[in-house]
Structure 1
Amino acid sequence: MPYRAPADDIRFILDKVVPVAPLSATDRFAEATPDLIDAMLVEGARLCDEVLAPLQRAGDTDPPRLEDGVLRSTAGFAGAYAKIAEGGWIGTAAPVDYGGMGLPQTLNMALQDMMSGACLALQLNPMLTQGQIEALEHHASDALRDLYLPKLISGEWSGTMNLTEPQAGSDVGALRTRAEPLGDGTHAITGQKIFISWGDCDFVGNVCHLVLARLPDAPAGTRGISLFMVPKFLPDADGNPGAANSLGVVSLEHKLGLHGSPTCVMAFEGAVGWLVGEPNKGMAAMFTMMNNARLGVGVQGIGVAEAACQKAAEYARDRVQMGPILGHPDVRRMLATMRAEIFAARAIALSCAVALDMARATGGSDWADRAAFLTPIAKAYGTDTGIRVAEAGVQVHGGMGFIEETGAAQYYRDVRVTAIYEGTNGIQAMDLVGRKMADGGDMALRLLEEVQSGAEAARGASPDLAEAVWSAAETLRETTEWLLAQEPRDRFAGAVPYLRAFALVLGARFHLVAWAEGGARRALAEVFIRRILPQHTACLAEAREGAAGLYALSDEDLVAG
């Protein structure tokens, strides 16, 4: 049974659980009617099922190659990308003035969910381009926007972001790439970048790199970083790709998974670049792209989880060991847990997307604050769910899961990096308990109030489930207040389990809403609330341990064992 894009599940969430209807009531998204959203989900699902999903294994077994400095992508990727571009899918949420559809990011995230499950390695290419589109829209000059946005939105050109260097990973302020003014408004960019996804591509006319670099005499650290547009080919007077720029792919990284997506070591040797935004303000511009990508990466985890779960369920149905293994209690436990966490993660991600869209449509700071708070949760919980589900999928397959030909292991290998790139999940958790609680925990406590109000409203129909959700939110509120009184190191030591606890409570809230719709939704909600939600107790116990016990071990103890 091939992959089936989960359009029905997404449609249910957008209709009943995280309603998208308020978006169409705004002037900005008035065209995003239920009929339009439904039609795009149907067409997007068809693209995923018929065009992208058949390439999933090919990307793993026939990865891109670097031949005499020329990148050769996986056979079939070029044709599939052309279908994505021709359908206008890259510009779903892009500005209308430059050729985009101007539709909600919520719909775009739903489509990216399906594309990620179909073929994550290829989906990563347009996702990065979408992030670059947003960064240019908000920070580039009119001239740069006019030149680059139409071609990026149409899919003629693709976009990347170049942050990481061998000595500068999460510590971006340590980067050494230089930008020397050339006297004509351009700059010579010199340096090396690593881990650049789709740093080259043989099925677009130009690859457009957003590169972080330092101007002469720039302040130290992140305050002295600027952002530059550095294209593979220099646009000519008509805006078409002209002479080759002084940059290239040094090598391709040998990776655990995601083989179909070339991860490049890039060398810039006096390459011509144009400043994006203000000098020394590059991090603000790059964070626009990164925040877009963080939600997108969370959605990638959810998409892969969906595909891994489908494959495991199919195998369990067909595999006979003392009867079909689908009937074995532990196999059913794994599959039910997988399905319940996917639903929770998907609802959290879509609720974050709705908040982003409402902020854009209304200008309301409350919506923007909500989106900012939910982003690290959506990224970390979405990718952790992808990893857990893909790992469980291997287990459902038993010994065959360890055999590459089944394809079960590929999902785990492919999704594992999502917890690392665009800010590790540990960084997401520290962001949650740090900057996102700089408001004194106001947004966190408001969200918990909403959870408890929803639970109160559900007491009449399902008193035991409602009580479980209400009590979990109350315990989380108490731990939130405790965290707010701690020093940063103690907050950070418990940040990861705290984030998971918050995600479990939010997921339980959405499952409780789905429970009211009856049918199989009730059974799945009970699995989550009765079997998974109780894990929040252990998470919060760890979160409240602080940092002392971790630092009681010396560095030598940790290194030597």
Structure 2
Amino acid sequence: MQTYNAPLRDMRFVLHELFADDEFGGLEKFEEFTPDLLDAVLEEAARVARDVLLPLNASGDEEGCVLENGVVRTPKGFKQAYDTFREGGWASLASDPEWGGQGLPETVNKLVEEMICASNLSFSLYPGLTHGATTAIEGHAAEDLKRAYLPKMVSGEWSGTMCLTEAHCGTDLGLLRTKAVPQEDGSYKVTGSKIFISAGDHDLTDNVIHLVLARLPDAPAGVKGISLFLVPKYLPKDDGTIGPRNNVAVAGIEHKMGLKASATCQIAFDDSIGWLVGQPNKGLAAMFTMMNTERVSVGIQGLGINEIAYQSAVAYAKERLQGRALGGAKQPELSADPIIVHPDVRRMLMTMRVYAEGCRALGQWASRALDAEKHSKDPEVRARATDFVALMTPVVKALFTDLASEAANLAVQTYGGHGYIREHGVEQFVRDARITQIYEGTNGIQALDLVGRKMAANMGRAMRPFFHAVSALCEDLTKSQDPQISAFAGALMQNFGALQLTTATIARKAMKDPEEAGAAASEYLRMLGLVGMGYTFLKAAQIAKARLGEGSGDADFYTTKLATAAFFFDRILPQATTLFLTIKTGKASMMALPAEAF
């Protein structure tokens, strides 16, 4: 059985306590949003996730989307759920009030996103893609396009997509063939085919607004010749109401491993009327405004899957009777003990738990930087926040989704044979999680971005906010009088030292041979992410110790925080040292075989 209740206590902890002393908070922009108000938002979002979205998760997966007479139909209940979602203002939570949004910080928005993704990942893609599209339009479109489209997209009345991929090109967008021909009235006629378009068509909104990458007739070859166009499914009238159908057709929907209730479409544009967004031949930069937003959100999708997989596995482990505890019966009145007494089951549950808590904390740190990057009045803080966001975007996307896939598989393992059949619903988590490691740039591409761009750019400037924060905390807390805190800090210091040494090694080798960086990339990303999680667990443990010492309430929560931190430092963080040893071997064995030998 799929089990999910939003982990509100931990969400309040990462929102209000964990980073209270960092430089990314205290933004004047959000002064009106008191802790009580933000907590109320989270509580209501939790209710919507539990009561509206979760009941449709398994049934939506079972039914899937269908294409009927050129129109995509979502599963039963999705339209009503979307109307409830939109009318509740959830589609506009973090959008700019200028366009009808509520202007809440990304820190809160990402926690709400986690709830939506945990309870119904397929559903989350419909508003999620729209939010990304509005970000690109707001950042790059002309004012008349903003006025015509943003209010209805922000409200959720209209939805959005991004159309990049073509059958012959995915990551290498320089190969795309879709063309756009300018017209005398300033519009363009867009022609071409796109595949793998999430939320490409559906019956949830009145209109679907496509952001399409295409080439102008005189465009240079490669990525320097790509422009971005806004192409609506229906052409709006002057008064903003829906007008005639544009020449945008759904050629088919993909039959996927997971996310079956999310319509993934093949879209055909045939002299479809569109408008330029941003500058000619600068479309990739405009689209990446959306892509980078989406990459962080995909990481949050992974976190959501991790959390529901964990909660479902815990519920089963407490109920499933099998065998006796190794130290003697725990519940002798029963025919057997629940499997949660067994060490190996505890290993799986604790692993899932610390993955979720660590990703939530690391995601919140990145979200604070997103807010500071946009709204801090201190230019130096904005610059450091921009560097931190650049560094953490590939880490959040790749690490969170890799761990989500691991957690989903651990949930199936916890259920045993019952996890492998559809009845209990946990195998859906494995299928749904798998795409998060692929779309919005595969996790291998994220790793290459980290070592090839972020690590190398501006003499490693993007690394500095992260390295400085970790170093300062370690140096401070290794001197702690509390033996547990000083031990945690010492473990983090050791692994941070390995990360620093690895960074220097990769940089040195890559100058002579770029393949050395590529060979190390995926392991390096995970290593950096684990050290980042270690930073958040050390801060959490420090706060928990202080709260327990003060006797300031919620002792059970803070005691549990110390236990999860101990498991992380004992069982998870040591992976970083192993990764250091792996990276140190270099590319030789990886690249030894000629292609024909495979």
In 1, Cα distance between the equivalents of 2:362 and 2:395? 8
CA offsets, 1:44-82, max 9 Å, x none? Answer: 111111111111101110111011212111111111111
Contact 1:190 1:268 in 2 (8 A): yes
Q: Is the 8 A contact 1:445 1:477 kept in 2?
A: no
CA displacement 1:297-317 (0-9 Å, x = unmatched): 000000011001111110111
1:29 deviation in Å?
2.1
Which residue of the partner structure matches residue 515 of structure 1? 541
Write the deviation string for residues 163-216 of structure 1: whole angstroms up to 9, x where unpaired: 000011000110000101121111111000000011001121100000000000
Pair 482,391 (structure 1): closer, same or farther in 2 beyond 3 Å: same
The one of 475, 487, 495 aligned to 1:464: 487
> In structure 2, what is the equivalent of residue 331 of structure 1?
345
Q: Is the 8 A contact 2:384 2:465 kept in 1?
A: no
The verdict on how the C-alpha distance between 1:280 and 1:443 changes in structure 2, with shifts beyond 3 A counting, is closer
Higher mean displacement: 206-215 or 91-100: 91-100
Are residues 1:555 and 2:595 paired? yes
SS of the residue corresponding to residue 9 of structure 1 reads helix
Determine the structure 1 residue equivalent to 2:299: 298
CA distance in 1: counterparts of 2:576 and 2:296, whole angstroms: 23
Aligned amino acid, residue 478 of structure 1: L
Match of 2:111 in 1: 110
Which residue matches 2:133?
132
Quick check: 1:400 aligned with 2:418? yes
Q: Deviations over 1:487-527 (max 9, x none)?
A: 22211111000010111111111111111204010010010
Deviations 1:377-416 (A, max 9, x none): 1111111111110010000000101111110100010011
Distance (whole Å) between structure 2 residues aligned to residue 88 and residue 270 of structure 1: 35
User: Is residue 388–residue 465 contact of structure 2 (8 Å, CA) maintained in 1?
Assistant: no
Number of the residue aligned with 1:352: 366
Contact 2:71 2:202 in 1 (8 A): no
**Match of 1:414, as an amino acid?**
D
CA distance in 1, matches of 2:302, 2:211: 25
What's 2:356 paired with? Answer: 342
Amino acid at match of 2:150: L
Amino acid at match of 1:470: M
- Over 4 Å off, 4+ runs: 20-24
Q: Which SS does the other structure have where 1:497 is aligned?
A: helix
- DSSP-derived class of the 2:252 partner: strand
Residue equivalent to 2:390: 372
Q: Report if the CA contact (8 A) 1:23-1:29 is conserved.
A: no
Select 1:454's aligned residue among 466, 470, 473: 473
Shift of 1:447: 1.8
Rounded to whole Å, the distance in 2 between the matches of 1:442 and 1:177 is: 37
SS in 2 for 1:28: helix
Contact 1:441/1:480 (CA < 8 Å) preserved in 2? no
**Residue 75 of structure 2 aligns with which residue?**
74
1:23, distance to aligned residue in structure 2 (A): 6.4
Q: Which amino acid aligns with 2:346?
A: R
The verdict on how the C-alpha distance between 1:507 and 1:169 changes in structure 2, with shifts beyond 3 A counting, is: same
| Identical amino acids, percent of aligned pairs | 46
Shift, 1:31, TM fit: 2.2
SS state at 1:201 partner:
coil
Find the aligned partners of 2:186 and 2:57 in 1 and give their Cα distance.
44
Instruction: Report the TM-score when normalising by structure 2.
Output: 0.91
Mapping for residues 7-46 of structure 1, pairs under 5 Å: 7-19=8-20, 25-46=26-47
Gaps spanning 5+ residues in structure 1: where? none
Among residues 425, 436, 440, which one is paired with 2:459 in the alignment? 440
User: Given residue 552 of structure 1, which amino acid in structure 2 is its aligned partner?
Assistant: A
Q: Tell me by how many angstroms 1:547 deviates.
A: 2.4
- 2:204 is paired with a residue whose SS is coil
AA of the residue aligned to 1:473: F
| Deviation of the 1:285 alpha carbon | 0.6
1:103, distance to aligned residue in structure 2 (A): 1.6
Which whole-Å deviations, capped at 9, do the CAs of 1:13-68 have from their partners, x for residues lacking one?
Answer: 11222339976732322223212211111111111111111111011101110112
The one-letter code sitting in structure 1 at the alignment partner of 2:74 is S
Match of 2:527 in 1: 501
Give the TM-score taking structure 1 as reference length: 0.97
Aligned pairs, number: 558
Tell me, yes or no, if structure 1 residue 482 matches structure 2 residue 483.
Answer: no
Whether the 8 Å CA contact 1:301–1:386 is kept in 2: the answer is: yes
Correspondence 1:143-154 to 2 at 5 A? 143-154=144-155
Structure 2: stretches of 5+ with no match in the other structure: 324-336, 545-557
Offset of residue 446 of structure 1? 4.2
* Greater mean deviation of Cα atoms: 518-527 or 12-21: 12-21
Q: Contact 1:195/1:264 (CA < 8 Å) preserved in 2?
A: yes
